[in-house]
C-alpha cells in the first residue's frame, strides 16, 4: 500500500527551523524516500490517517516545526522487535510488566550530537537478540504531520538534549520484582524470534 502523503508544492521550508545540533550535516542528508515511507506504512507502524511528508532531501533531521515532527526510521525496525518480545513476556510470564521497570535494566546515554541510546545496566541484558547493524541510520528519517497522529501535538517540538530516564519513568519496588522475574526466564524466552512461544 502506498504511503499516504500530501503534495508539498505549496508548503515552504520556512515552516522549519534548524536547531543546529548536527556537527556534520552534509554527511546526514536524508535518504529515506517515498518508497521507504510506503514500506514503513505497510508494516503497520502508522495508521491510515497519518500524513507522511513527501521526501525532501534538503530537510535536516535537526529541524523543528510546530506542524511536523521528525522521526528516525531505525527505531521502528528495531523497536518493533523489542515491543513484540516484551508483549510475549508480559502475556506468558510477567503479566504486570510496565514501563517503570525499563530504567532498572537500561540507562539512557548520549553518544554525540544530542542523540541518546539505551544501554543495558547489566552484562546480561534481559532482552536478547534484538540489535542489528545499521550504518546509515542517521540518514533515514521522515516527517509526519502532528495533527494526523495520536498525541502528536504533545510530542516535543525541539530535540531534548538532556534527559534522566528514571525521572521519566521512576522505578518502584514492584517494578524491580518484575524485572528480576524476567532475568530468571531462560534465554529462549528472552530472545527475539519470528514465532510466538507457547504458554507451556
* Chain segment 78-127, per-residue pLDDT in tens: 655 666 777 788 888 988 887 667 777 766 655 444 455 566 666 667 77
- Global model pTM greater than 0.75: no
Query: What does the pLDDT read at residue 14?
Result: 59
When the pLDDT of each residue in the chain is averaged and rounded to a whole number, the result is 76
C-alpha grid cell, residue 184: 530468571
Q: How far apart are CA 184 and CA 144, in angstroms?
A: 40
Q: How far apart are CA 179 and CA 164, in angstroms?
A: 19
Q: Judge contact between 118 and 108, C-beta under 8 A.
A: yes
Q: Provide the 3-class DSSP secondary structure of residue 143.
A: strand
Amino acid at each position: 500500500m502506498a504511503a499516504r502523503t500530501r503534495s508539498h508544492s505549496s508548503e515552504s521550508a520556512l515552516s522549519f527551523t534548524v536547531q543546529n545540533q548536527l556537527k556534520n550535516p552534509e554527511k546526514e542528508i536524508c535518504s529515506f524516500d517515498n518508497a521507504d515511507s510506503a514500506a514503513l506504512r505497510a508494516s503497520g507502524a502508522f495508521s491510515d490517517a497519518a500524513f507522511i511528508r513527501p521526501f525532501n532531501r534538503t530537510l535536516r533531521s535537526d529541524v523543528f516545526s510546530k506542524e511536523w515532527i521528525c522521526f528516525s526510521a531505525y527505531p521502528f525496525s528495531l523497536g518493533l522487535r523489542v515491543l513484540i518480545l516484551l508483549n510475549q513476556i508480559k502475556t506468558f510470564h510477567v503479566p504486570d510488566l510496565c514501563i517503570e521497570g525499563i530504567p532498572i535494566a537500561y540507562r539512557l546515554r548520549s553518544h554525540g550530537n544530542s542523540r541518546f541510546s539505551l544501554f543495558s545496566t547489566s552484562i546480561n541484558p534481559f532482552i536478547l537478540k534484538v540489535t542489528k547493524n545499521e550504518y546509515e541510520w542517521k540518514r533515514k528519517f521522515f516527517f509526519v504531520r502532528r495533527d494526523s497522529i495520536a498525541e502528536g501535538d504533545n510530542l516535543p517540538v525541539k530535540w531534548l538534549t538532556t534527559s534522566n530516564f528514571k525521572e521519566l519513568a521512576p522505578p518502584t519496588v514492584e517494578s524491580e520484582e518484575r524485572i528480576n522475574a524476567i532475568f530468571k526466564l531462560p534465554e529462549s524466552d528472552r530472545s527475539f524470534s519470528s514465532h510466538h512461544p507457547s504458554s507451556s
